[in-house]
Structure 1
Amino acid sequence: MPDTHTEQAAGLRLDGIAISLDGRTLVEADHTIGPGEVLTVMGPSGSGKSTLLAFIGGFLDPAFAACGRVICEGVDITDAPPQERHAGLLFQDPLLFPHMSVGGNLVFAVPQTVRGRAARRAVAEAALGDVELEGFFDRDPDTLSGGQKARVALARVLVSEPRFMLLDEPFSKLDAGLRDQVRRLVFERAGVRRLPVLLVTHDEADAKAAGGALIEVEPAPGPGNGS
């Protein structure tokens, strides 16, 4: 028989979350993101949609007020420090370390439970192959195209063995053709690993490609309400 408790605990639970600034509610969420599912939060720039992502990741600016709970795989992580939440983060920019090779960027993210230089390199090289960048281990990040950098950033997230993924407009700086390719790759790889995904975007095409539930955030009435 299936383990009912395990089934109920799987995924990422956003339990009665509400985030506000100066008494105005910016975004609310009461939703379970199942393994391999995507929840999209969509709204214009400055609407405060990224505050939900920040709250879940554990780095919400203290200027905002928040209530509710974040529960991952049945464990309440609302008060856990960011490094203990095991979130995989992708932003608009790939944020690769320029002083490291492509492979060095990935080895940096390999969990410490993988010991030995050869073993850690093998994990990184396998991750590069998974995003169709075989042979890129020794490349300088500055020599990569925008699409290649985005793939390296994805590989670095996946190699860290995250429990869920938080995507903050990660496709917005790619041209239309690359955007579709990288978006499809991100969602496919997250699905294969059965990772719950929260996507923040202002692009309807992103929401359509994600194919999951959607939270629409209203435009903010004035400046300073975040993104």
Structure 2
Amino acid sequence: MGLELRQIIVRLDGRVLVDIDLGIAPGEIVTLMGPSGSGKSSLLAHICGTLPAGFEVSGQVMLKGKPLDGLAPQDRHVGILFQDDLLFPHLSVGGNLAFALPPEIRGRAARRRCIDAALESAGLGGFSDRDPATLSGGQRARVALMRVLLSEPCVLLLDEPFSKLDAELRDQIRTFVFDQARARGLPTLMVTHDPDDGAAAGGRIVRLA
């Protein structure tokens, strides 16, 4: 059981933005494409529980067989990666990752082990004390992804996360993100304008009008 969007309809001012019925299995990557204003990011916000007031939504969001509707964002176990890496400039790389660690991981040594293991898996061993401002675009993107994954999400949402990367770096980071999602068995929904993103994901492509 992965992510299920059961007859989700999102309206704004009486106009239907999204009308979708979709299931995403663990480890599957589904690409959602459509023009600007077609409601792609609004759908992701609804899944996260952060859709602003004024939207009307019907249907049901299910994750691992349980409804998400009505839950606070922090209780949904939804991870999302945006266009911008959104790293905290006042924290070190390790501090950024520590921010996402679940409270069940207690003690400085245990938390440091989790952070170091995440950095090693991203090819960034020894970067814990680095200032995010000193990182390249690709390194920042990998830190942002590992911060999301350390929060132990049950689903991964990708909101145009590769759009600001140059072509060569985009291929590298796409592969890294997709490999991590599949390895962790995360149902993944990617919103993009770029057909190459969908082709690289290798899964189903759903087009919004």
Q: What TM-score bracket applies, with the shorter chain setting the length?
A: over 0.9
Instruction: Pick the aligned partner of 1:169 from 160, 165, 178.
Output: 160
Indicate the residue corresponding to 1:5 in structure 2.
Answer: none
1:109 counterpart SS class: coil
Instruction: Pick the aligned partner of 1:69 from 50, 54, 60.
Output: 60
Instruction: Pick the aligned partner of 1:49 from 13, 25, 40.
Output: 40
1:214 CA drift (Å): 1.9
* Cα distance between partner residues in 2 of 1:64 and 1:36: 30
Instruction: Pick the aligned partner of 2:106 from 110, 115, 118.
Output: 115
Q: Give identity over the alignment, percent.
A: 59
1:208 CA drift (Å): 1.1
Whether 1:217 and 2:202 are equivalent positions in the alignment is: no
**Paired letter, 1:51:** S
Runs (5+) with no aligned partner, structure 1: 1-9, 219-227
* Cα distance between partner residues in 2 of 1:196 and 1:64: 25
Give TM-score, length-normalised by structure 1. 0.90
* Cα distance between partner residues in 2 of 1:154 and 1:61: 25
* Cα distance between partner residues in 2 of 1:43 and 1:132: 34
* Cα distance between partner residues in 2 of 1:123 and 1:86: 18
Indicate the residue corresponding to 1:160 in structure 2.
Answer: 151
* Cα distance between partner residues in 2 of 1:191 and 1:165: 10
Indicate the residue corresponding to 1:84 in structure 2.
Answer: 75
Whether 1:207 and 2:198 are equivalent positions in the alignment is: yes
Instruction: Pick the aligned partner of 1:21 from 12, 25, 34.
Output: 12
1:138 CA drift (Å): 0.6
**Paired letter, 1:183:** R
Runs (5+) with no aligned partner, structure 2: none
* Cα distance between partner residues in 2 of 1:22 and 1:200: 23
**Paired letter, 1:187:** F
Whether 1:182 and 2:173 are equivalent positions in the alignment is: yes
**Paired letter, 2:140:** K
Give TM-score, length-normalised by structure 2. 0.97
The 5 Å alignment of 1:27-46 reads 27-46=18-37
* Cα distance between partner residues in 1 of 2:105 and 2:92: 19
1:50 CA drift (Å): 0.9
The number of residues matched between the two structures is 209
1:154 CA drift (Å): 0.5
Indicate the residue corresponding to 2:142 in structure 1.
Answer: 151
1:40 CA drift (Å): 1.4
Whether 1:128 and 2:95 are equivalent positions in the alignment is: no
* Cα distance between partner residues in 2 of 1:88 and 1:142: 23
1:44 CA drift (Å): 2.1
